[in-house]
Each structure stands twice: as C-alpha cells, then as structure tokens.
Amino acid sequence: MVVLNKIYTRTGDDGTTALGTGERVAKYDLRVEAYGTIDETNAVIGLARTQTRNADPKLDVMLARIQNDLFDLGADLCFPEETKDGKPSLRVSDAQVARLEAEIDEMNASLEPLRSFVLPGGTAAASFMHLARTVSRRAERLVVALASRPDEPVSEQAIRYVNRLSDFLFVAARYANDKGASDVTWVPGKNQ
C-alpha cells in the first residue's frame, strides 16, 4: 500500500528523481519520460471519462480499468529490476493485454468498417480519446526507444500493452462517436 503523507520532499530540487529501486536519475531520463508520458495519457483518459461517466457507463468502466492498468504500467517501468528484498516487481500481465484486445474486438464489432481515415473529432468523448490516443502513441515510442537500449530492461507485456492501448483508444473514439455515425472522415485533397 502506498502512503503519501508529505507531497514535496525537496529531493528533486537537484534535477533528479528516484526510480522505484531507489536509484536516482535525471528527471529527463528516457525511463522517466516514458512513464511520465504514460501518466499524461492517464490524465487525458480522465478527461474523456468526464464525458463517458453518464453517457456510456460500459465504456466508462473500461476506461476506469485502463486508468488503473496505467498505474501498473508506470510501476512496471519505474522498477526496471526486481526489488532488492527479493519480492517481484509489479509487471503488466498477459491477461491485461488480452482484456484490451477483447474490448477492442467487442466495440469494433458494432462499428461499420472504415472507408477512409478518421480525423480526430466528433463528440467531446471521442475528441478526448483521440487526444489520449496520440499521447499514448508518444508513450509507446518512448517505451520502445527505452527497450532498444541494451542496459534498460522493459517487459514485453509493457510494450504490447501500450501498443494495444492506442488501438483501444482509436476504436473507443469511434464507438463514442455514435458507433461511427459521427466520425469525421478525411477527404483526400478536399481543400486543394
């Protein structure tokens, strides 16, 4: 259980922050950028939930579960190694990835196939989910860049989860757009 009695510690005043292992790294360290961008994704999903809470309780439950999963993902990235006391670090699981895939398939089954690319927009909920999707794609790029470094362990499930998350958010945005009826589609060369 996490207990936060005091929010500021002054330990970061030198431009460093602590990983879950206690190791201090620069606040601009790629690992910190990766889990910080996961946190940013979570905040945008929170915005989307202001629109789904009453309008679509089923989608809202999915988003709430994802917000919790994103804290698991942040912990996974914050603890690059097992803890010193021998306890396993929290890791994203195959089951969390599979649940995202199942929810994508479930929502997508109610949508008409795409005939063009979809522009971000439509309903407020969809717009926020498109924003969350783009932030999650940035997080994915950072996580993959981190994983490409030989001395930076990143779990395979973390990479898979963040990849599926942007897919989920795309389908959820279409679903929140009146099941695709309010999608704004790209018209190539329309304004030439």
- Across the chain, which has 192 residues, the per-10-residue mean pLDDT values are 75 85 90 97 98 95 98 90 70 96 97 92 96 98 97 94 98 95 92 94
The phi, psi pair for 106, rounded to 5°, reads -65, -50
Q: Which two tokens stand for residue 70?
A: 């994103």
Q: Centre a 10 Å sphere on the Cβ of residue 191 and count the other Cβ atoms it contains.
A: 4
pLDDT at 13: 87
Does residue 175 contact residue 110 with C-beta atoms inside 8 Å? Answer: yes
The phi, psi pair for 127, rounded to 5°, reads -60, -45
H or E segment at 70?
helix 57-78
Does residue 70 contact residue 44 with C-beta atoms inside 8 Å? Answer: no
Domain 24-181, CATH = 1.20.1200.10
Does residue 152 contact residue 97 with C-beta atoms inside 8 Å? Answer: no
DSSP letter assigned to residue 86: S
Q: Which two tokens stand for residue 135?
A: 């932030």
pLDDT at 86: 66
pLDDT at 23: 86
pLDDT at 21: 81
pLDDT at 1: 59
Domains of the chain, by residue range, sit at: 24-181
pLDDT at 39: 98
